[in-house]
Amino acid sequence: MLRLLEGSMAVAETVGRCRPDVIAAYPISPQTHIVEALSRAVRAGELGDCELLNVESEFAAMSACIGAAAVGARPYTATASQGLLYMSEALFNAAGLGLPIVMTVANRAIGAPINIWNDHSDALSQRDSGWIQLFAESIQEAVDLHVQAYRLAETLSLPVMVCMDGFVLTHAHEPVEVPDADAVDAFLPRVAPAQVLDPDAPQTIGAMVGPDAFTEVRYLMHHKQMAALDAIPHIAGEFAAAFGRDSGGLVRGYRLDGAETVVVAMGSVMGAIEEVVDELRDGGVPVGALALRCFRPTPTAELREALAPARRVVVVEKAMSPGTGGIVGADVRRALDGCDTRVHDVIAGLGGRPITKASLRTLLARAREDRLGALSFLDLDRDRVAAELARAGTPTAPGGHAAQALAAAGLWEEDA
């Protein structure tokens, strides 16, 4: 049954139905509504014996999840941006130890400069941690992915990150269906953990591994991630059968038939991209789109299969590697190695700047005229950048570019 819900609330309700045993809660914009809702639910006795830990940092949150998972309890936490960075050491540790943990990341930019709005730099900064990283295009998909994530995490014994665009999806109200509790129970039976701290059968977890064995241990981790490439579509298929919705999986193509130009992106921006594709297709223009739903592991084969027939691929991504360029674009290029398809990185939407349909139309027009370079920044205010670069040589006010901007606007006053 569809209900009008805020994205965060829908996710919180869904997580509750996944019967977590331990919730580690630490607030950070824009995830706060999720942990608040779960705290209320625990207090109201709606989550059975679930223990809620109000931890003192995100690092503590992930550490508590590690402890809980290690004793066979089902953990949950959520974070974003700076919080994800703060728990980075624990992220790598959780993946290295092979612990089933599910976490929501309400994607938000990373500072400096501090910015609370949506982009993908947080999740992408942890792409080498060994976590599975799934990206939701809508609130409904975010909801569905949490259920699939627990199944995936506990099947493979790997931690899974469900990414949803901060504010854009967390704070939007839309009709959504929260999966039925009984159906979720059937989908997520209790699984005997691969390793567990049990006094009746003591194990040592987290020993030091030297040069003689470390490579093999890490290779096995890579192997497990590659196995996820099979598990993810399989679980998405089972989910579709049980709940009747197509969510998750590795990639989702949109109007790829005969598409000369394909736009690749992750997350909520796919909505605007699809609308633009529809407009262009109505005008007979052969464009299509591909949603990358699983970022880690990289669905290389699926990317290649979907994109190789296209003449050009425009990767619109909400993050970048300074001094290098696109991150998703690099994975797409690797997947298309040996093909003639040209790949264009477009950095867009950083720090919450909206990616408008107007800008997308202009972008695609340039791409189709082959006027798009290998790397470009969508909607970059070139005048502002040029002015700052010019000023950088001859500052008119002491201080950084903020002071210069105020001076240019005539708002800077020297201290008396």
Partner 1 sequence: MTDPTRIRYAQVGTRAVGNRLLDPAERALQSDPRRANAITSGHRACRGCGEALAARSVVDAAMAVAGGRVVAANATGCLEVFSTPYPESSWQLPWIHSVFANAPSVAAGIAAGLRARGRDDIRVLGQGGDGGTVDIGFACLSGMFERNDDVLFVCYDNGGYMNTGAQRSGATPPGAATTTTPAVPGRPGAELGQGKSAPLVAMAHEIPYVATATIADLHDLEAKVRRAMEIRGARYLHVLSTCPLGWGSDSALSIELARLAVETGLFPVFEARDGEVVDATPIRRRRPVEDYLRPQRRFAHLFEPEPQRDVLDALQRRADRNIARFGLDRHA
Partner 2 sequence: MVTSAELLAAAAFAGGGHPQAFPSFGSERSGAPVVAYCRIDDEPIRSHEPIAEPDVVIVQDPTLLHQVAVFDGLRPGGTVLVNTGKTAAELGIAELPGLPRVVTVPAGQIGREHIGRPMPGPALLGAFAAVTGAIALPALEAALRERFPGDLGDANAAAARAAHDREVASAAPA
Which of 1, 44, 56, 284 binds partner 1 (CB under 8 A)? It is 56
- For the beta carbon of residue 89, count every other beta carbon within 10 angstroms: 13
Q: Which residues of 323-348 are buried (b: 16+ CB within 10 A; e: fewer)?
A: eeebbbbbbbbebbeeeebbbbbbbb
The CB-of-285 to partner 2 minimum distance in angstroms stands at 19
Which of 21, 174, 180, 279 binds partner 2 (CB under 8 A)? It is 174
Instruction: For residue 292, give both structure tokens.
Output: 């990358």
CA pair distance 120, 122, nearest whole angstrom: 6
The CB-of-75 to partner 1 minimum distance in angstroms stands at 7
Output the CA angle 267-350-319, nearest 5 degrees: 65
Backbone torsions φ then ψ of 185, nearest 5 degrees: -60, -40
Q: Which is nearer to partner 1, 215 or 324 (CB)?
A: 215
Binding to partner 2 in span 47-76, by CB under 8 A? none
The answer to whether 232 and 250 are in contact (CB under 8 A) is yes
- Is the Cα torsion angle 371, 289, 343, 384 positive or negative in sign? positive
CA pair distance 295, 264, nearest whole angstrom: 12
Which of the listed partners (partner 1, partner 2, none) does 174 bind, with a CB threshold of 5 to 8 Å by partner kind? partner 2
Q: Is 84 in the site for partner 1 (CB under 8 A)?
A: no
The CB-of-255 to partner 2 minimum distance in angstroms stands at 13
Which of the listed partners (partner 2, partner 1, none) does 22 bind, with a CB threshold of 5 to 8 Å by partner kind? partner 1
Which of 175, 395, 399, 400 binds partner 2 (CB under 8 A)? It is 175
Q: Is 38 in the site for partner 1 (CB under 8 A)?
A: no
Span near partner 1 by CB under 8 A; candidates 166-174, 203-211, 352-360, 365-373 = 203-211
The CB-of-179 to partner 1 minimum distance in angstroms stands at 22
- For the beta carbon of residue 177, count every other beta carbon within 10 angstroms: 17
Q: Is 406 in the site for partner 2 (CB under 8 A)?
A: no
Q: Is 274 in the site for partner 2 (CB under 8 A)?
A: yes
Which of the listed partners (partner 1, partner 2, none) does 11 bind, with a CB threshold of 5 to 8 Å by partner kind? none
Binding to partner 2 in span 252-271, by CB under 8 A? 268-271
Q: Is 55 in the site for partner 1 (CB under 8 A)?
A: yes
Binding to partner 2 in span 81-120, by CB under 8 A? 116-117
DSSP states along 357-394:
HHHHHHHHHHHHTT---SEEETT--HHHHHHHHHHHHS
Pairing verdict, β 132-135 and 312-317: unpaired
Q: Kind and range of the H or E element at 243?
A: helix 214-243
Pairing verdict, β 375-377 and 160-165: unpaired
The CB-of-9 to partner 2 minimum distance in angstroms stands at 11
Q: Is 102 in the site for partner 1 (CB under 8 A)?
A: no
The CB-of-78 to partner 2 minimum distance in angstroms stands at 17
Q: Kind and range of the H or E element at 12?
A: helix 7-17
Instruction: Name the amino acid, one letter, at 116.
Output: I
Which of 39, 73, 305, 330 binds partner 1 (CB under 8 A)? It is 73
Q: Which is nearer to partner 2, 176 or 294 (CB)?
A: 176
Which of the listed partners (partner 2, partner 1, none) does 31 bind, with a CB threshold of 5 to 8 Å by partner kind? none
Which of the listed partners (partner 1, partner 2, none) does 399 bind, with a CB threshold of 5 to 8 Å by partner kind? none
Q: Is 27 in the site for partner 2 (CB under 8 A)?
A: no
Q: Is 4 in the site for partner 2 (CB under 8 A)?
A: yes
SS3 letters across 392-414: HHCCCCCCCHHHHHHHHCCCCCC
Instruction: Name the amino acid, one letter, at 351.
Output: G
Q: Which is nearer to partner 1, 53 or 160 (CB)?
A: 53
Across the strands, what pairs with 288? 262
CA pair distance 394, 405, nearest whole angstrom: 13
| Residues binding partner 1 (CB under 8 A) | 21-22, 24, 49-51, 53-57, 59-61, 63-73, 75, 89-90, 93, 97, 196-199, 202-210, 213
| Residues binding partner 2 (CB under 8 A) | 4, 6, 29-30, 116-117, 138, 165, 167-169, 171-175, 268-272, 274-275, 352, 354-358
